[in-house]
Chain A
């Protein structure tokens, strides 16, 4: 049995679990340890289809480590990741065919043109109608006039648009965005946010989004996970979470958690309404 991917390529249906299928991403007991250093400490979370989940936390909290594990470029010390119900460890290629990402630290090769980069990655993702998809994305991200420009000479905003176009090449079911609007002006950032928001609603793509812009997170994300020292301290709706924890804004809550993670750990580790520590929750329970 096989299921058609959005990109047109057929892949074997590895899992037919109904609960798992409603989740673009499920991570259970995810842990990464380097010697004595624990970068990610047994976290569990999920991203539903069509949901945008903000992964927040101070520098060194474990956000990028978590994303790298989901991308398959970093092997967890323990735990389990499934993408669209497909076990990443056992069926890496199939799982990653549903995934894509854009990250500020992973610039596309600057010596290839915009078109060449998109062509290169469309082939790597085995996109069947690659040429058509590239033209769509060039138009959608206003990159037509830059198609023959080397991506290394683009402005940071243009490079961000290119990275996002690349991230949508295979119509991913799970999109990982690591500070996708960090280098954009407010107008361009707002435009990108609305496009991604619309895309998530339209296509049902689940998105894991990291950002240090709390206004952006509040506007864009359906749910946030506060990560500190490798643990999920808090989880919930970014619009109601600050007030529920005695903060005026999400930014104030972020600063408090970032500066005093241990002091806030006792109430913070209790996921709202469950009484269970956030990192031990069943990702299938959701939080939207």
Chain B
């Protein structure tokens, strides 16, 4: 892999953001709204319940983690959508660019934009609601890593889906986090779920993040093996997503889909 082609994909997003506040605003606006909304809900729950649960840490912390995952995924897909929206596939894929370089460029973009979102969320949650985020200590690293890896994997998979089904399938990408959230137990333990949903949840890496976060916040420590499974599953997801993207790309080159990519390409 060469550095310049990877940098090109990331630089293009930087150019677009620099010249367009409407692209920067969603990176911070929605996460800020989420933190403020859930911050007040958490504060209210702390004031009316005597369960001993710190809702700021468990509820607002969960929202922050979940929004981070969503931002990583959307950071990857948004960079891909630029080529969809500008009908730029021929220009990009008729260059020496390797698929691995293209995907690495998308990931680099996702990393950058999601970190901006994470910083905004941390500042607001800490400053306005006193979220003890760093009290989780070094546990934060594996928790964020799992969400980050899974976000990348899902972003690449969603991009592959849009490449295969056409631009009109873009709307299928946005609800993916919402569809997954009931299964991964963002706000409740997996034990709350019926067995079949729990089984699905165990196959999704974020479930290990939220189970461990709740356990650590409650002072029960964390499960090293659970985190290891989460990391392993997330890495597996990335490999699977890259494989699927490669297969769909080859199909698109073979079938003429890439050369004729348009709004009518759903087949």
Contact = CB atoms under 8 A, between A and B. Distances in A.
Interface string B70-113: 00000000000010001111111111111000000000000000
A94 B253 contact: no
Contact of B82 (A32, A74, A96, A109): A109
B253 A75 contact: yes
Contacts of A73: 89-90, 93-94, 253, 258-259
B80 to A, nearest CB: 14
Interface residues of B, number: 32
Secondary structure type dominating chain B contacts: helix
Interface string A104-127: 011111111100100111011111
A75 B254 contact: yes
B247 interface: no
Interface string A29-72: 00010100000000000000000000000000000000010011
B82 A125 contact: no
B180 interface: no
Interface residues of A, number: 35
B86 A72 contact: no
Which of B90, B94, B98 has most A Cβ within 10 Å?
Answer: B94
A160 to B, nearest CB: 15
B127 interface: no
Which of A71, A74, A119 has most B Cβ within 10 Å?
Answer: A74
B11 interface: yes
Interface in B193-242: none
A109 B93 CA distance: 14
Contacts, number: 90
Interface in A227-276: none
Nearest to B14: A116
Contacts of A126: 2, 4-5, 96
B8 interface: yes
B259 A94 contact: no
A242 to B, nearest CB: 32
A82 interface: no
A101 interface: yes
A96 B15 contact: no
Which of B82, B89, B91 has most A Cβ within 10 Å?
Answer: B91
Contacts of B8: 120-121, 123-124
A74 B91 contact: no
Interface in A119-170: 119-121, 123-127, 130
A130 B3 CA distance: 14
A254 B167 CA distance: 38
A210 interface: no
A74 B88 contact: no
Contacts of A121: 8, 91, 95
B86 A96 contact: no
Given A110-B86, A111-B16, A119-B11, A34 B94 contact: no
Nearest to B258: A73
B7 interface: yes
B16 A125 contact: no
A279 interface: no
B93 A74 contact: no
A120 B12 CA distance: 6
A103 interface: yes
A251 to B, nearest CB: 29
Interface string A168-210: 0000000000000000000000000000000000000000000
B12 A112 contact: yes
Which of A71, A119, A123 has most B Cβ within 10 Å?
Answer: A123
Contacts of B256: 32, 34, 68, 74
B11 A71 contact: no
A26 B186 CA distance: 58
Nearest to B2: A126
A162 to B, nearest CB: 12
Interface of A: 32, 34, 68, 71-75, 92-94, 96-97, 99, 101, 103, 105-113, 116, 119-121, 123-127, 130
23 contacts: A68-B90, A73-B90, A73-B258, A93-B98, A96-B94, A103-B90, A105-B90, A106-B91, A108-B88, A109-B12, A109-B86, A110-B86, A112-B12, A113-B19, A116-B15, A120-B8, A120-B11, A121-B8, A123-B5, A123-B11, A124-B4, A124-B8, A124-B92
Give the top 7 A-B pairs by smallest Cβ distance, nearest first.
A123-B8, A71-B94, A109-B86, A97-B96, A93-B96, A124-B95, A68-B259
Given A103-B90, A126-B2, A130-B4, 20 more contacts: A68-B90, A72-B93, A73-B94, A73-B253, A74-B256, A75-B250, A92-B96, A96-B94, A101-B94, A105-B90, A106-B87, A111-B16, A111-B19, A111-B86, A113-B15, A120-B12, A121-B91, A123-B7, A123-B8, A126-B4
